[in-house]
Amino acid sequence: MTNWTAALLVLGITLAGCERPQQTSGGDAQTPTPADVDPNSMQAIQDAVRAKESLPGRAHFESACATCHNGAVQKAPHREMLALMTPEAILSTMTDGVMRQEAAALNGQQKVEVAEYIAGRPIGEQVVDIPSCGDEQAFDTLAPALAVNWGLQQGNNRYIDAATAGISAADLDKLQPRWAVSFPGANRVRSQPALAGGLIIVGSHNGRVYALDQASGCQVWSYQAAGEVRTGIVISAEHQVFFGDVLGNVYGLDAHSGKQLWRMRADDHPNATITGTPSLHDGNVYVPVSALEVSLAIDPRYACCTFRGSVVALDAATGEPQWKTYTISETPTVQKQNAVGTDMIGPSGAVVWNSPSIDAQRNQIYFGTGENMSSPATATSDAMFALDMETGKVNWVFQGTANDAWNVACDTDTPENCPEENGPDFDFGGATILVSGSTAGDLVLGGQKSGFVHAVNPDTGELVWQTRVGRGGIQGGIHFGMAALGDRVFVPISDMADGRSYDTPDRPGMHALDINSGEILWSTLHEDRCNGKAFCHPGISQVPTVVGDVVFAGSMDGTVRAYDVETGKVLWQLDSTGTFDTILGEATRGGSFSGAAGPIAFNGNLIISSGYGLYNHMPGNLLLVLGK
């Protein structure tokens, strides 16, 4: 992350938020950065801050909201967390949502102004919802459920067989757009859809979960969550829907109607969030808990940091907690003061922003952790965990990188809260994968932002092999996960520039490793075809999916590609940044592919989710279904 991009994230604004974004009548808010503005310059940041703080909603926020959301109420999300919501979603919470009583003193226009102030951008002038199917569409109880968990199967290998997908390498040239939707008030698409009952169920940036008809894309039902839904959607055999939101809430819905069955908050910390998709097994939902506190540390007056990552087991029927295991056993305490006299608190961090992998045979779940956000560094950051599924007991921990404590204050002009370790920020961002090699037997694989893939023994956590595939870095290495088929694991590498120097060249693209030995079998490096396009990069940040005999993955240049599993040859590609007509006949477009919304295939159709709009990625707003 570059110096001043971090500041924008904390303030909840983008440079495009300083001016009214260009709108399409399909609800697609495009946010281009002017060519003559350096998005990371100090002047640009100062201009953005002044623009945001001059908005009329600031005074209303200070009078009606600041007491709770500036830190006085422990469980109330900080303003910076609320800024990750769209202004439309914020307004909805004040008009007919959870904050309607607290906002009762504000009139309609004042609520609009508060929403625009918090989000840092105006409410869209023309927001058109996804059209309803009407009464004739319903959940088909006889239709099989597909993509039940984020990893598609228990081990998170992200494999869809050719019969289920209805797509093979021979069919790629036949793929044509069938239908597309854009989500109202959104500039990113990062929730992996689930398929059940003839529906595509998917979360959105605007905080709504939509059930769309698989054949046409029309809306069967929708549910408004409290904040952005960036996790994938999970569906049980009993037709329950599970997901988390950006404010740390976890939900259970009825898949037929979208009716809420239960809702709970996974952690009381005001900056808790759910990024990784929950995993479902044997009546329990296993929820990874992360936080966005790492960005708040850029303010030297913020006492960093107090959040500890965890995994929570919930009863799928009721949402009642069964157990909770922290990744750091010690409670954070004041360690010292920074240069401006603010408390520095630790240990903290080791967040979990990936989907747990289920090992039913061993009664274990596996997951990876991120860096510590403050000193002291612990032995459980940048690590792979194995927990007992019934009790949450830690069975083993393998640490990939020791002494990694980092937050956004590092590499900026306000480094007072930067831990003494100062990085390198080598999270296990992507989910672990449980595989079985033909000679090596069972292994747990973890991909790290360091660019390394680690293979460990699932019984002991001992290292079997490790291979460096990419350069690694704060924006490098493996981000949101890998995929596996047979004796191969497919490793996407980002290696986006982050302002630091490294001793290894960039290796953006797709790579295949032998599961038994870690040997690199092939590497398909991407050429930089961005031609100066802002926020464009050839690396792969999004998780891939193996479909039959091909690997599908989208890259940060906006292109989704299909690679031959044996050779790595690119067999097919599609540029998602072009214009696509939605089911309303209006235009939308994609952007960078990133996050955990990897491609999904079913019955001769391919679903892609394009547009990230965070961390120097191209925004976009495209859910596209391609078919033969």
**Would you say residue 506 lies in a domain?**
yes
Half-sphere exposure (Cβ direction) of 360: Cα atoms closer than 13 Å: 10
The answer to whether position 383 is within a domain reads: yes
- The verdict on 56 and 177 lying in the same domain is no
Under DSSP, is residue 337 helix (H, G, I), strand (E, B) or coil? strand
Q: Which of 379, 364, 338 is nearest to 460 (CA)?
A: 364
Rounded to the nearest 10 degrees, how much is the dihedral formed by the CA atoms of 130, 132, 133, 135?
A: 160
Does residue 477 lie within any of the structural domains? yes
CA distances from 228 to 111, 170, 224, 293, 373 (A): 19, 38, 9, 17, 23
What CATH number does the domain containing 387 carry?
2.140.10.10
Domain with 188, as residue range(s), is: 159-627
Number of Cα atoms under 13 Å in the Cβ half of residue 32:
8
Q: Is the dihedral of CA 185, 187, 191, 197 positive or negative?
A: positive
- Asked whether the beta carbons of 593 and 508 are under 8 A apart, the reply is no
Last residue of a domain, one of 119, 151, 183: 119
Q: Give the chain's domain count.
A: 2
Q: What is the pLDDT of residue 16?
A: 32
**Same domain for 114 and 179?**
no
Whether residue 145 lies inside any domain: the answer is: no
ω before 305 within 30° of 0 (cis)? yes
Tell me: do 302 and 437 sit in the same domain: yes
* Average pLDDT value for the chain: 88
Cα–Cα distances in Å, from 511 out to 168, 482, 489, 527?
A: 20, 10, 8, 14
State yes or no: pLDDT of 436 exceeds 50: yes
Residue 270 and residue 325 in one domain: yes
pLDDT for position 100: 74
The reported pTM is 0.87
Co-location of 382 and 526 in the same domain: yes
Residues 97, 229: one domain?
no
Q: How far apart are CA 490 and CA 511, in angstroms?
A: 6
In a domain, residue 115? The reply is yes
Provide the pLDDT confidence category of residue 428 given band limits of 50, 70 and 90.
Answer: very high
Same domain? 58 vs 197: no
User: pLDDT, tens digit, for every residue of 48-102?
Assistant: 667 777 788 888 888 888 767 765 555 566 776 677 677 877 887 788 766 777 7
Distance CA 401, CA 325 (A): 21
| Residue 566 lies inside a defined structural domain of this protein | yes
CB–CB of 405/377 below 8 Å?
A: yes
Average pLDDT of the segment spanning 271-299: 94
Q: Does residue 5 carry a pLDDT above 50?
A: no
Q: At what angle do helices 42-53 and 3-11 cross, to 10 degrees?
A: 10
Is-contact 625 33, C-beta < 8 A? no
- Clarify whether residues 439 and 558 are in a common domain: yes
Are the C-beta atoms of 197 and 212 separated by less than 8 Å? no
Count of Cβ atoms closer than 10 Å to residue 417 Cβ: 27
Query: Contact, 371 vs 378, CB < 8 A?
Result: no
Residue 241: pLDDT above 90? yes
* 16 against 625, higher pLDDT: 625
For 155-192, write each residue's pLDDT tens digit.
999 999 999 999 999 999 999 999 999 998 788 899 99
Domain boundary among the residues 69, 94, 119 is at: 119
- Which helix (H) or strand (E) segment holds residue 43: the answer is helix 42-53
Going through 440-585 in order, the beta strands assigned E by DSSP cover 441-447, 452-456, 463-468, 483-485, 488-493, 509-514, 520-525, 545-547, 550-554, 559-564, 570-575, 579-581
**Structure confidence by residue, pLDDT tens digits, 117-161:** 888 778 865 567 899 998 777 788 877 777 678 888 789 999 999
Whole-number Å distance between alpha carbons of 22 and 124 = 9
CA distances from 266 to 150, 225, 272, 534, 561 (A): 19, 15, 8, 37, 36
Q: State residue 27's pLDDT score.
A: 29
Helix (H) or strand (E) run with residue 81 in it: helix 79-82
**Domain-ending residue, one of 99, 119, 139:** 119
Same domain, 180 and 95: no
Residues 95 and 179 in one domain: no
Tell me: pLDDT of 44 over 60: no
Residues 183 and 115 in one domain: no
Comparison of pLDDT for 69 and 21, the residue scoring more = 69
pLDDT at 386 over 70: yes
The answer to whether residue 126 is domain-embedded is no
Q: Are residues 172 and 94 in the same domain?
A: no
Task: Label each residue of 93-150 as H, E or C.
Answer: HHHCCCCCCCCCCCCHHHHHHHHHHHHCCCCCCCCCCCCECCCCCCCCCCCCCECCCC
Please report whether residue 225 resides in a domain. yes
Residue 176 exposed, middle or buried by CB count within 10 Å (0-12, 13-18, 19+): exposed
Is residue 468 scored above 50 in pLDDT? yes
